[in-house]
Structure 1
Amino acid sequence: MGVYDILKEWGVKNYRVIDRQAIKEITLGASILATGGGGDPDIGLLWAYKVLDEGKEIVMVDPMDVPDDILAASPACLGSALCLTEKPPSSKVLTIAIDALQKYMGKNLKATIPLECGGVNSILAYAAAGEYGVPVVDVDGMNRAFPELQMTSWVTHGVHASPTVSVDDRENITVIDTLDNDHVAEMIARKVAMAYGGISWVATYPMSGKELKETSILNSQSIAWEVGKAVFAAREKHADLIEEMLKALRQVRNVEGYKIFKGKIIDIGREFGSESTKGFTLGKIIMEGINEYKGSIAELNFQNEWLIVKVDGVVKCLPPDLIAVLDSETGEPIRTDIMKYGYRGTIVVLPAHERMRTPKGIETFGPRYFGYDLDYVPVEELNQR
């Protein structure tokens, strides 16, 4: 059974065929929304290109068209973004993980769902969908990227990460099943990734179509797609890349984003994916203002992704709200794993999706979880004062 047989069985006539241009646009948009993380987007992009070049089709469906009783799951990578760049995967890792999950569940996947918005983890779901002849669903678990497995709208709305299957490129397989204890699942998955050499490939968050619709960030891939389209269009007409991106977000999400700083990196403190950092890339950067921000200083802390930003000592954004540092000339995100002294960029902050802003969400991935002695304040309030 192929993807169109599945759509016929579901009675779905409205779907979107994802071609090379669409993948390129979605990858850029997802990378921007990935808050400095998400890994090297070229890995996800080339993976999806390979699937398309083999004549396989990638089709995206609206979540509301997914039957309640089907099984869906997320193929993804977990670990240090730097290790991912240094250890590019074989083409078999996701197949091994998905096959092992299907065997453990005793049921075949009928759809894939991106784990997060990220240059790798969004697009892996598209590539896997093409490989298995199933649709990819227009959802994810964050509409941004976060460093830990349990930091999703799925967990905060009652769906669990177990079972998770973790593999490496030597075809080692680990099945992690901690029932409803998602924090323990994260800790085990992290240790497994470290044992594998810093990066692992997972099939995770198996859920029903009903659970998918009730707990996901709905239409998150369309949001990323519109962001990517806007930046590519702005490049072609030499328009203001940042303003065009923010305009696209107003149209597709009806939210206001804020450009809060423009500057260059003058200091970096960073630790890469070691045992002492539990496989995360941790640190802080200092940016010196340029142009209209000359004389101001921005500080950004990160754990794989940007977490908190201050301008002249004043907090401008806290998790789960989004921070993006974008190249002012290209709109490309400056990721935490590639930034260097002297890089110039514009800092943009955005509201998290409402399904990420619940009390359970703030407890699970708000500022206090990351060790900051700060209560969560929405980015709109921080930047309208």
Structure 2
Amino acid sequence: MSRLHAVREADLDAIAAGAVVLGCGGGGDPRLFVEMLRPLMTSTSVEVIAPDQLPSGAMIMPVGIVGSALALEEQLPSGHEFADTAAALTRWTGKRPTAVMTFEGGGLNALSGIAAALALGIPVVDADLLGRAMPRLDHFSLAAAGLELCPVTLAQPGGLITVVDGVDVLGAEVAVRSLIGRTSGWGALAIASIDARTVQEACIPGTLSRAYELGQHVGTLGSWREIAESSGGRVMGTGRVRAVRRSRPNAGDRRGNVILEHDSAVIRVEFESEFLTVASDGEMIATCPDIVTLLDVRTGAFVSCESVHQGQDVAVLVLPGPQWWAEDVSRLKVVGPRAFGIDHDAVLMEAQ
């Protein structure tokens, strides 16, 4: 995989196209950030630093958007949210970041680190805490490494800034979701800055470069077969969607599923904001943290959890997830099927 050294205006579309793949059917539309960033980057660029190139004294602040993508589209950022949340966290901790990184490398957050770096005038690190999109803070690699997230700061549209401290990872997740659920619906979140060694040992390297490389391939292709071949993924099956069951979070039911017929087999794809697992006739054949996606076989477009519908012809495409998660089986407790209430071990492409 080739490595990005800087992000320019001409690179945004490719990163966004790759971010859709890593979004796994969720994570929000990255084109929103592209349209915000494009006029700001016509004559400038953002430096990208690989984790292994960070100086020993570097302090890296993970940032991103939390909340509803729909709420974000209805109430667009003013452009000050990342600067505000970073300033609040700096005041609280006394630690000024020398670089930022996105905490989620799929969906719209793939570009949030670039937006924050541009707002703060510092580099962005080519890493994240997931390697794809996932729904909750307690899925982060820092949690898998036994590290805490707090203090965190949340800047919401309208100027409200909140500091959350003194709670564990799950407590931070509950507090942040409760805040945005009762106020604006979304916010810019900053997590306590981490040092270079922590980035190198407890974060997912190369996510921004992976999005860019994926986007260079899939963004110019129209056929789903070409996209599947160029992405390095595996097609688990194609067929017509026979049923879609949506999640009902208010009723305590956070998961949904897609049922499609593939030849004589029945394929079931589970999702919770993002696609998670694939089973064929009851046998699990792919799971998170691998990259699980659906492609519309007629248009070649990636299909979201929100847009997939009965009667749609789709291909189930799975790409290898970050190697970091597979290096230690205990890490899979945070991002594997059981983290979502699915009683099955992770089934990963590299292991197969």
TM-score, scaled to structure 2: 0.90
> 2:212 matched to 1:243?
no
> 2:255 matched to 1:266?
no
Q: Superposition RMSD on alpha carbons, in Å? A: 2.5
After TM superposition, give the deviation of residue 182 of structure 1 in Å: 1.0
Change over 3 Å in CA distance of 1:47–1:160 after alignment to 2: farther
Change over 3 Å in CA distance of 1:300–1:271 after alignment to 2: same
Find the counterpart in structure 2 of residue 320 from structure 1: 289
Change over 3 Å in CA distance of 1:21–1:329 after alignment to 2: farther
After TM superposition, give the deviation of residue 329 of structure 1 in Å: 5.4
After TM superposition, give the deviation of residue 128 of structure 1 in Å: 1.4
Change over 3 Å in CA distance of 1:164–1:343 after alignment to 2: farther
> 2:339 matched to 1:369?
yes
Change over 3 Å in CA distance of 1:89–1:343 after alignment to 2: farther
Find the counterpart in structure 2 of residue 254 from structure 1: none
Q: 1:369 is paired with a residue of what secondary structure?
A: helix
Find the counterpart in structure 2 of residue 44 from structure 1: 33
Distance in structure 1 (CA, Å) of the matches to 2:331 and 2:172: 18
Find the counterpart in structure 2 of residue 249 from structure 1: none
Change over 3 Å in CA distance of 1:188–1:345 after alignment to 2: same
After TM superposition, give the deviation of residue 146 of structure 1 in Å: 1.1
Counterparts of residues 85-234 of structure 1 (less than 5 Å): 85-178=73-166, 181-234=168-221
After TM superposition, give the deviation of residue 175 of structure 1 in Å: 0.8
Which structure 2 residue ranges, 5 or more long, are not aligned?
A: none
Distance in structure 1 (CA, Å) of the matches to 2:261 and 2:79: 42
After TM superposition, give the deviation of residue 17 of structure 1 in Å: 2.6
Q: Deviations over 1:12-69 (max 9, x none)?
A: xx9723122311111111220121121112212222214314x442221222221122
The one of 280, 285, 295 aligned to 2:258: 285
The one of 80, 88, 103 aligned to 2:68: 80
Q: 2:11 is paired with a residue of what secondary structure?
A: helix
Q: Deviations over 1:226-284 (max 9, x none)?
A: 1111113445x9981210111xxxxxxxxxx3211122333222246x54459x6x422
The one of 9, 19, 22 aligned to 1:20: 9
Contact 1:159–1:211 under 8 Å retained in 2: no
Distance in structure 2 (CA, Å) of the matches to 1:263 and 1:239: 14
Q: 1:375 is paired with a residue of what secondary structure?
A: coil
Q: Bigger CA drift: 322-331 or 113-122? A: 322-331
Contact 2:100–2:122 under 8 Å retained in 1: yes
Distance in structure 2 (CA, Å) of the matches to 1:36 and 1:315: 19
After TM superposition, give the deviation of residue 359 of structure 1 in Å: 2.9
Find the counterpart in structure 2 of residue 9 from structure 1: none
Q: Deviations over 1:322-344 (max 9, x none)?
A: 21112345554211133333333
Change over 3 Å in CA distance of 1:337–1:51 after alignment to 2: farther
Tell me which amino acid in the other structure corresponds to 1:304.
S
Change over 3 Å in CA distance of 1:336–1:86 after alignment to 2: farther
Contact 1:263–1:287 under 8 Å retained in 2: yes
Q: 1:143 is paired with a residue of what secondary structure?
A: coil
Tell me which amino acid in the other structure corresponds to 1:333.
F
TM-score, scaled to structure 1: 0.83
After TM superposition, give the deviation of residue 121 of structure 1 in Å: 0.6
The percentage of counterpart residues that share the same residue type is 27
Contact 2:4–2:209 under 8 Å retained in 1: no
Q: 2:102 is paired with a residue of what secondary structure?
A: coil
The one of 27, 32, 43 aligned to 2:21: 32
Distance in structure 2 (CA, Å) of the matches to 1:147 and 1:74: 16
Contact 1:48–1:124 under 8 Å retained in 2: no
Distance in structure 2 (CA, Å) of the matches to 1:262 and 1:83: 33
Which structure 1 residue ranges, 5 or more long, are not aligned?
A: 1-13, 247-256
Q: 1:285 is paired with a residue of what secondary structure?
A: strand
Distance in structure 1 (CA, Å) of the matches to 2:15 and 2:153: 26
After TM superposition, give the deviation of residue 143 of structure 1 in Å: 1.1
Change over 3 Å in CA distance of 1:196–1:238 after alignment to 2: closer
Change over 3 Å in CA distance of 1:337–1:206 after alignment to 2: farther
Contact 2:296–2:315 under 8 Å retained in 1: yes
